[in-house]
Amino acid sequence: MTLLTLAIGALALAYSNPLPYESLGYIPGFLLIILVVLFIGIYHPKFGAQLESFLRRFGRRLPARIEKYLNSVLDALGRIHNFSVYDHIRIFAWALLSVALRTLVLYFATRAIGVDVSPVHILWISAFLVFTATLPITIANLGVREGLLVLALSPFGIIPATAVALGLLLFANQIIAAVIGAFYQLAISLGWVRWHGPPQPDVVR
Protein backbone atom coordinates (compact mmCIF):
# COMPACT_ATOMS: atom_id res chain seq x y z
CA MET A 1 0.00 0.00 0.00
CA THR A 2 2.84 2.37 0.82
CA LEU A 3 4.63 1.73 -2.48
CA LEU A 4 1.42 2.20 -4.46
CA THR A 5 0.60 5.43 -2.59
CA LEU A 6 4.10 6.77 -3.28
CA ALA A 7 3.87 5.84 -6.96
CA ILE A 8 0.54 7.64 -7.38
CA GLY A 9 1.83 10.61 -5.38
CA ALA A 10 4.97 10.85 -7.53
CA LEU A 11 2.86 10.92 -10.70
CA ALA A 12 0.61 13.61 -9.21
CA LEU A 13 3.62 15.70 -8.12
CA ALA A 14 5.25 15.43 -11.55
CA TYR A 15 1.97 16.47 -13.20
CA SER A 16 1.07 19.36 -10.87
CA ASN A 17 4.55 20.75 -9.98
CA PRO A 18 3.42 23.33 -7.37
CA LEU A 19 6.76 25.17 -7.37
CA PRO A 20 8.22 27.18 -10.28
CA TYR A 21 11.19 24.84 -10.69
CA GLU A 22 11.45 22.68 -13.77
CA SER A 23 13.86 20.34 -11.98
CA LEU A 24 11.08 19.38 -9.57
CA GLY A 25 9.54 17.30 -12.33
CA TYR A 26 12.65 15.11 -12.54
CA ILE A 27 12.61 14.15 -8.87
CA PRO A 28 9.24 12.31 -9.04
CA GLY A 29 10.42 10.61 -12.23
CA PHE A 30 13.53 9.35 -10.46
CA LEU A 31 11.35 8.23 -7.54
CA LEU A 32 9.09 6.32 -9.93
CA ILE A 33 12.09 4.45 -11.34
CA ILE A 34 13.10 3.43 -7.82
CA LEU A 35 9.55 2.33 -7.04
CA VAL A 36 9.34 0.23 -10.21
CA VAL A 37 12.59 -1.50 -9.26
CA LEU A 38 11.20 -2.14 -5.78
CA PHE A 39 7.95 -3.50 -7.20
CA ILE A 40 9.87 -5.92 -9.44
CA GLY A 41 12.29 -6.87 -6.69
CA ILE A 42 9.51 -7.62 -4.23
CA TYR A 43 6.78 -9.17 -6.38
CA HIS A 44 8.45 -10.84 -9.36
CA PRO A 45 8.89 -14.56 -8.59
CA LYS A 46 12.24 -14.91 -10.40
CA PHE A 47 13.97 -11.57 -9.78
CA GLY A 48 12.48 -11.37 -6.30
CA ALA A 49 13.96 -14.74 -5.38
CA GLN A 50 17.36 -13.68 -6.73
CA LEU A 51 17.23 -10.44 -4.75
CA GLU A 52 16.21 -12.37 -1.64
CA SER A 53 19.16 -14.75 -2.05
CA PHE A 54 21.56 -11.81 -2.48
CA LEU A 55 20.22 -10.03 0.60
CA ARG A 56 20.55 -13.18 2.71
CA ARG A 57 24.20 -13.51 1.72
CA PHE A 58 24.73 -9.84 2.45
CA GLY A 59 22.99 -10.22 5.81
CA ARG A 60 25.59 -12.73 7.00
CA ARG A 61 28.11 -9.88 7.12
CA LEU A 62 25.89 -7.81 9.39
CA PRO A 63 25.54 -8.02 13.19
CA ALA A 64 23.44 -10.96 14.37
CA ARG A 65 20.55 -8.80 15.54
CA ILE A 66 20.28 -6.94 12.23
CA GLU A 67 20.64 -10.20 10.28
CA LYS A 68 17.80 -11.75 12.27
CA TYR A 69 15.52 -8.79 11.52
CA LEU A 70 16.50 -8.83 7.83
CA ASN A 71 15.79 -12.56 7.56
CA SER A 72 12.35 -12.12 9.13
CA VAL A 73 11.52 -9.50 6.50
CA LEU A 74 12.85 -11.74 3.72
CA ASP A 75 10.81 -14.68 5.01
CA ALA A 76 7.69 -12.54 4.70
CA LEU A 77 8.66 -11.42 1.19
CA GLY A 78 9.32 -15.03 0.22
CA ARG A 79 5.65 -15.81 0.70
CA ILE A 80 4.72 -13.06 -1.74
CA HIS A 81 6.73 -14.76 -4.49
CA ASN A 82 4.30 -17.70 -4.32
CA PHE A 83 1.25 -15.53 -5.00
CA SER A 84 -0.77 -16.19 -8.12
CA VAL A 85 -1.75 -13.49 -10.61
CA TYR A 86 -5.23 -13.51 -9.11
CA ASP A 87 -3.76 -12.91 -5.65
CA HIS A 88 -1.80 -9.91 -6.93
CA ILE A 89 -4.90 -8.48 -8.63
CA ARG A 90 -6.93 -8.78 -5.41
CA ILE A 91 -4.17 -7.19 -3.32
CA PHE A 92 -3.76 -4.39 -5.85
CA ALA A 93 -7.52 -3.74 -5.82
CA TRP A 94 -7.63 -3.56 -2.02
CA ALA A 95 -4.54 -1.35 -1.94
CA LEU A 96 -6.06 0.97 -4.54
CA LEU A 97 -9.26 1.18 -2.49
CA SER A 98 -7.23 1.99 0.62
CA VAL A 99 -5.35 4.75 -1.22
CA ALA A 100 -8.63 6.18 -2.52
CA LEU A 101 -10.23 6.22 0.94
CA ARG A 102 -7.15 7.80 2.53
CA THR A 103 -7.09 10.47 -0.17
CA LEU A 104 -10.81 11.17 0.29
CA VAL A 105 -10.30 11.60 4.04
CA LEU A 106 -7.63 14.24 3.38
CA TYR A 107 -9.76 15.88 0.68
CA PHE A 108 -12.82 16.22 2.92
CA ALA A 109 -10.62 17.40 5.80
CA THR A 110 -9.24 20.22 3.64
CA ARG A 111 -12.77 21.22 2.66
CA ALA A 112 -13.92 21.14 6.29
CA ILE A 113 -11.07 23.41 7.37
CA GLY A 114 -11.61 25.80 4.44
CA VAL A 115 -8.49 24.88 2.44
CA ASP A 116 -9.06 24.98 -1.31
CA VAL A 117 -6.48 22.67 -2.89
CA SER A 118 -6.80 20.73 -6.14
CA PRO A 119 -7.41 16.95 -5.84
CA VAL A 120 -4.19 16.40 -7.80
CA HIS A 121 -2.24 18.15 -5.06
CA ILE A 122 -4.15 16.13 -2.46
CA LEU A 123 -2.73 12.96 -4.04
CA TRP A 124 0.94 13.85 -3.54
CA ILE A 125 0.34 15.44 -0.13
CA SER A 126 -1.39 12.23 0.98
CA ALA A 127 1.55 10.21 -0.33
CA PHE A 128 4.02 12.23 1.74
CA LEU A 129 1.82 11.83 4.81
CA VAL A 130 1.72 8.06 4.35
CA PHE A 131 5.50 7.95 3.95
CA THR A 132 6.16 9.95 7.12
CA ALA A 133 3.60 7.85 9.01
CA THR A 134 5.72 4.75 8.36
CA LEU A 135 8.72 6.36 10.07
CA PRO A 136 8.88 5.63 13.83
CA ILE A 137 9.54 9.24 14.81
CA THR A 138 6.56 10.27 16.95
CA ILE A 139 3.37 8.69 18.28
CA ALA A 140 0.73 8.60 15.51
CA ASN A 141 2.98 10.89 13.43
CA LEU A 142 1.99 13.80 15.68
CA GLY A 143 4.02 16.91 14.94
CA VAL A 144 5.66 15.47 11.84
CA ARG A 145 2.35 15.47 10.00
CA GLU A 146 1.61 19.06 10.96
CA GLY A 147 5.09 20.24 9.95
CA LEU A 148 4.79 18.50 6.60
CA LEU A 149 1.39 20.07 5.97
CA VAL A 150 2.80 23.52 6.74
CA LEU A 151 5.56 22.92 4.19
CA ALA A 152 3.30 21.34 1.55
CA LEU A 153 0.53 23.95 1.75
CA SER A 154 2.74 27.04 1.90
CA PRO A 155 3.02 27.33 -1.95
CA PHE A 156 -0.78 27.70 -2.05
CA GLY A 157 -0.82 30.61 0.37
CA ILE A 158 -2.13 28.59 3.32
CA ILE A 159 -0.96 30.07 6.62
CA PRO A 160 0.81 27.72 9.10
CA ALA A 161 -2.02 27.95 11.65
CA THR A 162 -4.53 26.57 9.14
CA ALA A 163 -2.14 23.80 8.09
CA VAL A 164 -1.60 22.79 11.72
CA ALA A 165 -5.37 22.80 12.29
CA LEU A 166 -5.73 20.45 9.31
CA GLY A 167 -3.14 18.12 10.80
CA LEU A 168 -4.92 18.10 14.16
CA LEU A 169 -8.20 17.32 12.41
CA LEU A 170 -6.58 14.30 10.74
CA PHE A 171 -5.16 13.27 14.12
CA ALA A 172 -8.63 13.49 15.69
CA ASN A 173 -9.92 11.21 12.93
CA GLN A 174 -7.26 8.64 13.89
CA ILE A 175 -8.20 8.94 17.56
CA ILE A 176 -11.86 8.21 16.79
CA ALA A 177 -10.90 5.07 14.88
CA ALA A 178 -8.55 4.05 17.70
CA VAL A 179 -11.32 4.48 20.31
CA ILE A 180 -13.62 2.24 18.28
CA GLY A 181 -10.84 -0.35 18.06
CA ALA A 182 -10.22 -0.08 21.82
CA PHE A 183 -13.88 -0.88 22.59
CA TYR A 184 -13.67 -3.77 20.13
CA GLN A 185 -10.62 -5.24 21.84
CA LEU A 186 -12.19 -4.67 25.27
CA ALA A 187 -15.33 -6.53 24.21
CA ILE A 188 -13.23 -9.50 23.08
CA SER A 189 -11.13 -9.46 26.28
CA LEU A 190 -14.22 -9.42 28.52
CA GLY A 191 -15.92 -12.17 26.54
CA TRP A 192 -18.81 -10.02 25.34
CA VAL A 193 -18.20 -11.24 21.79
CA ARG A 194 -16.51 -14.35 20.49
CA TRP A 195 -14.95 -15.42 17.22
CA HIS A 196 -16.93 -18.04 15.32
CA GLY A 197 -14.92 -19.67 12.57
CA PRO A 198 -16.30 -21.89 9.83
CA PRO A 199 -17.57 -25.28 11.05
CA GLN A 200 -14.85 -27.89 11.10
CA PRO A 201 -15.50 -31.30 9.48
CA ASP A 202 -15.73 -34.28 11.76
CA VAL A 203 -12.47 -36.09 12.11
CA VAL A 204 -12.69 -39.87 11.90
CA ARG A 205 -10.26 -41.41 14.35
Q: What is the pLDDT along the chain (205 residues), one digit of tens a residue?
A: 777 888 888 888 878 777 766 666 677 777 778 878 877 777 777 787 788 888 888 888 888 888 888 888 888 777 777 788 888 889 889 888 988 888 899 999 999 988 888 888 898 898 888 888 877 777 777 788 888 899 888 888 889 999 999 988 988 888 888 888 888 888 888 888 776 666 655 554 4
Locate all alpha helices (DSSP H) within the chain, ordered by sequence: 2-16, 26-43, 45-59, 64-80, 85-113, 119-133, 144-153, 160-189
- Do residues 154 and 135 make contact, with C-beta atoms less than 8 angstroms apart? no
Looking at residue 108, its pLDDT comes to 92
Looking at residue 195, its pLDDT comes to 67
